[in-house]
Amino acid sequence: MTEEKNGGFWDFIKFTAIAVLIVVPIRMWVAQPFIVYGSSMEPTFENGDYLIVDEFSYYLRSPEKNEVIIFHYPLDQSKYFIKRVVGLPGETMDVNGKKTVLKAGEYFVEGDNRKASSDSRVWGPVPQKLIVGRALIRLWPINQIQVLPGD
């Protein structure tokens, strides 16, 4: 009976190690969960929507116009924001009557609910190094499950 217990214990250890070797890299470099807070992306995303963020694509390519991205807020990098890309590097944006040229690696982002959004119109462009990824899957609410929501 002791051998069975030891065998079961080692099976559990092996299973746990394999699970950690698979899950941790995916969570660290491929995808992560994200919960939408606030109304800046309404009606596309509502407060409480649960998303999976694709962290891998932007290693292979740059963000494209109209994609919904998740990034570290430039003024407080401990916070994450979700916005839509409306301006790409090299483009000229008109912000309150003032022309702004986006430099290499800068993205102009805005919330879909322009009246309730603090975005690049207020605090400027987002450097590419702060971009975490794009909205890949909406998992909640269950009746709105969607791949590439917001595209």
Q: What tens digit of pLDDT does each residue of 21-72 get?
A: 655 555 555 556 767 777 788 788 888 888 888 888 888 888 999 999 999 9
Q: What SS3 state is found at 51?
A: strand
Is pLDDT of 96 > 70? Answer: yes
Which pLDDT score, from 0 to 100, does residue 26 have? 53
Into how many domains does the chain fold? 1
Region of poorest pLDDT, from 14-18, 87-91, 105-109, 136-140: 14-18
Average pLDDT over residues 6-22: 69
- Tell me if 9 is assigned to some domain: no
- Tell me if 2 is assigned to some domain: no
- Tell me if 37 is assigned to some domain: yes
Q: What tens digit of pLDDT does each residue of 110-146 get?
A: 998 888 888 899 898 999 999 988 888 787 777 777 7
- Tell me if 131 is assigned to some domain: yes
DSSP 57-89: HHHHS---TT-EEEEE-TT-TTSEEEEEEEE-T
- Tell me if 65 is assigned to some domain: yes
Residues 139, 48: Cα–Cα separation, whole Å: 11
Q: What is the domain-level CATH number for residue 50? A: 2.10.109.10
Residue type, 78: S
- Tell me if 86 is assigned to some domain: yes
* Exposed e or buried b per residue across 66-77, where buried means at least 16 C-beta atoms within 10 angstroms of its C-beta: ebbbbbbeeeee
Q: Is 118 a catalytic residue?
A: no
- Tell me if 27 is assigned to some domain: no
- Tell me if 115 is assigned to some domain: yes
Q: What is the pTM of this model?
A: 0.73
Q: Is 98 a catalytic residue?
A: no
Domain residues for the domain of 132 are: 32-147
Measuring CA to CA, which residue among 143, 132, 77 is closest to residue 107? 132
Is pLDDT of 1 > 60? Answer: no
Average pLDDT over residues 65-89: 92
Query: Which of 14, 40, 103, 120 is labelled catalytic?
Result: 40
